[in-house]
Amino acid sequence: MAKRNMRLGIRTQLVGYTLVTALLVGGSTIGYSIHIQRVAIHDEFHSRAATMSSSLAMYLVDPFYESNVHRLGIQLEIAQRDPDVLTASAHDASGVEIASGAGYGVPTATEPAFDPGQFQSADEDALFLRPNRSTFSVVSPVRIANAEPIGYVCLTFSAARALEQIRRETLSQLGLMLVLFALGSVVALILSRRFVKPILDMVAGTTAIRDGTFDTRIVVERRDELGDLARSINSMTQALQNTTVSKERLELVNRDLEDARAAAESANLSKSEFLANMSHEIRTPMTAILGFTETMLDEDISESDRLRAVRTVHDNGEHLLQIINDILDISKIEAGKLEFECIRFSPLKLVAEVCSLMKVRADAKHLPLDVEYVGAIPDTIQSDPTRLRQILVNLIGNAIKFCDHGGVRMVVRFLDVDPITGRGPDQPILLFDIMDTGIGMTPEQTARLFRPFSQADSSTTREFGGTGLGLTISHRLAKMLGGNITVVSKLGVGSTFHVRIPTGPLQGAKMVAPSCESGVVDADDAGGVKHEKARLACRILLAEDGLDNQRLISFVLKRAGADVIVVDDGKKAFNKAMASICSRRDCDPDGSFDVVLMDMQMPVMDGYEATRRLREKGYTGPILALTAHAMASDRRKCIDAGCDDYLTKPIDRKRLLAAIRSQVTRSTAPASL
Q: How many CA atoms lie within 13 A of 268 on its CB side?
A: 6
Identity of the amino acid at 212: G
Residues 323, 348 within the same domain:
no
Report yes or no: 119 and 95 within 8 Å, Cβ to Cβ.
no
pLDDT in tens, 277-313: 666 567 767 777 777 787 778 777 888 888 887 888 8
Q: Which of 48-62, 126-140, 266-280 has the lowest mean pLDDT?
A: 266-280
Between these two residues, 3 and 90, which has the higher pLDDT value? Answer: 90
Q: Is 254 helix (H, G, I), strand (E, B) or coil?
A: helix
Q: Is 504 helix (H, G, I), strand (E, B) or coil?
A: coil
288: domain CATH number is 1.10.287.130
141: domain CATH number is 3.30.450.20
Residues 156, 241 within the same domain:
no
Residue 208 lies in a domain: no
What span, in angstroms and rounded, lies between the C-alpha atoms of 599 and 330?
25
Residue 212 lies in a domain: no
pLDDT in tens, 352-408: 989 988 888 888 888 999 999 999 999 999 999 988 998 999 899 889 988 888 899
Which of 305, 338, 371 terminates a domain? The answer is 338
Q: Which of 226-230, 449-453, 577-581, 635-639 has the lowest mean pLDDT?
A: 449-453
Residue 532 lies in a domain: no
What span, in angstroms and rounded, lies between the C-alpha atoms of 61 and 145?
10
What span, in angstroms and rounded, lies between the C-alpha atoms of 221 and 158?
64
Q: Is 340 left (phi over 0), alpha (psi -120 to 50) or beta?
A: beta
| DSSP code per residue over 92-117 | ETTSBEEEETTTTT--S-SSBSS-GG
**Per-residue pLDDT, 223:** 72
Residues 576, 496 within the same domain:
no
Torsion of CA 235, 237, 239, 240, to 10 degrees: 160
Between these two residues, 668 and 643, which has the higher pLDDT value? Answer: 643
Q: What is the mean pLDDT of residues 14-40?
A: 77
Residues 400, 491 within the same domain:
yes
452: domain CATH number is 3.30.565.10
Residue 53 lies in a domain: yes
Which of 483, 501, 525 terminates a domain? The answer is 525
Residues 161, 72 within the same domain:
yes
What span, in angstroms and rounded, lies between the C-alpha atoms of 11 and 16?
8
pLDDT in tens, 485-521: 999 999 888 999 999 999 988 888 899 988 654 444 4
> Phi and psi (nearest 5°) for 672?
-155, 170
Percent of the chain whose predicted confidence (pLDDT) is above 90: 19
**Per-residue pLDDT, 639:** 92
pLDDT in tens, 141-197: 888 877 788 888 888 888 788 788 878 888 887 887 788 778 777 877 777 777 677
DSSP type of residue 498: E
| DSSP code per residue over 645-659 | EEEESSPPHHHHHHH
Q: Is residue 670 over pLDDT 50? A: no
Task: Give the structural domain span for 270.
Answer: 220-338
Q: At what angle do helices 570-585 and 607-616 cross, to 10 degrees?
A: 30
If one counts every other C-beta atom within 10 angstroms of the C-beta of residue 568, the result is: 17
Q: What is the mean pLDDT of residues 215-244?
A: 73
Highest-confidence range of 162-176, 303-317, 588-602, 609-623, by mean pLDDT? 609-623
Residues 36, 52 within the same domain:
yes
- Of how many residues is the chain composed? 673
Strands of the sheet containing 645-648, edge to edge, are 563-567, 539-543, 595-599, 623-627, 645-648
Residues 124, 107 within the same domain:
yes
Percent of the chain whose predicted confidence (pLDDT) is above 70: 79
Residues 452, 489 within the same domain:
yes
Give 33's pLDDT tier (boundaries 50, 70, 90): confident
β-bridge partners, 191 = none
Residues 42, 106 within the same domain:
yes
Identity of the amino acid at 85: V
Q: Is residue 444 over pLDDT 90? A: no
What span, in angstroms and rounded, lies between the C-alpha atoms of 132 and 115?
18
pLDDT in tens, 549-591: 888 889 889 999 999 999 999 999 999 999 888 766 555 555 6
**Nearest partner of 20 among 131, 155, 185, 139, judged by Cα:** 185
565: domain CATH number is 3.40.50.2300
DSSP type of residue 534: S
Longest dimension (CA), the chain: 197
Residues 391, 284 within the same domain:
no
What span, in angstroms and rounded, lies between the C-alpha atoms of 507 and 505?
6
**Nearest partner of 670 among 598, 602, 618, 620, judged by Cα:** 620
Residues 16, 152 within the same domain:
yes
Q: Is residue 209 over pLDDT 90? A: no
Residues 316, 375 within the same domain:
no
Q: What's the number of domains the chain is made of?
A: 4
Give 10's pLDDT tier (boundaries 50, 70, 90): low
Q: Is 33 helix (H, G, I), strand (E, B) or coil?
A: helix
Residue 205 lies in a domain: no
Give 528's pLDDT tier (boundaries 50, 70, 90): very low
Identity of the amino acid at 97: E
**Nearest partner of 293 among 284, 306, 304, 283, judged by Cα:** 306
Residue 614 lies in a domain: yes
| DSSP code per residue over 376-441 | -EES-EEE-HHHHHHHHHHHHHHHHHT-SSS-EEEEEEEESS-TTT---TTS-EEEEEEEE-S---
Which of 471, 493, 525 terminates a domain? The answer is 525
**Per-residue pLDDT, 408:** 93
Residue 640 lies in a domain: yes
Q: Is 546 helix (H, G, I), strand (E, B) or coil?
A: coil
Identity of the amino acid at 261: R
Query: What is the chain's alpha carbon radius of gyration, rounded to the nearest angstrom?
Result: 65
What span, in angstroms and rounded, lies between the C-alpha atoms of 293 and 276?
25
Please give the angle made by the CA atoms of 359, 477 and 489, to the nearest 5 degrees.
Answer: 60
What span, in angstroms and rounded, lies between the C-alpha atoms of 644 and 666?
11
Give 211's pLDDT tier (boundaries 50, 70, 90): confident
Q: Which of 20-34, 126-140, 461-475, 623-637 has the lowest mean pLDDT?
A: 461-475
**Per-residue pLDDT, 522:** 44
Average pLDDT taken over every residue of the chain: 79
What span, in angstroms and rounded, lies between the C-alpha atoms of 452 and 474?
11
Please give the angle made by the CA atoms of 517, 519 and 523, to the nearest 5 degrees.
Answer: 105
Residue 139 lies in a domain: yes
Highest-confidence range of 214-218, 224-228, 586-590, 624-628, by mean pLDDT? 624-628
| DSSP code per residue over 157-198 | EE-HHHHHHHHHHHHHHHHHHHHHHHHHHHHHHHHIIIIIHH
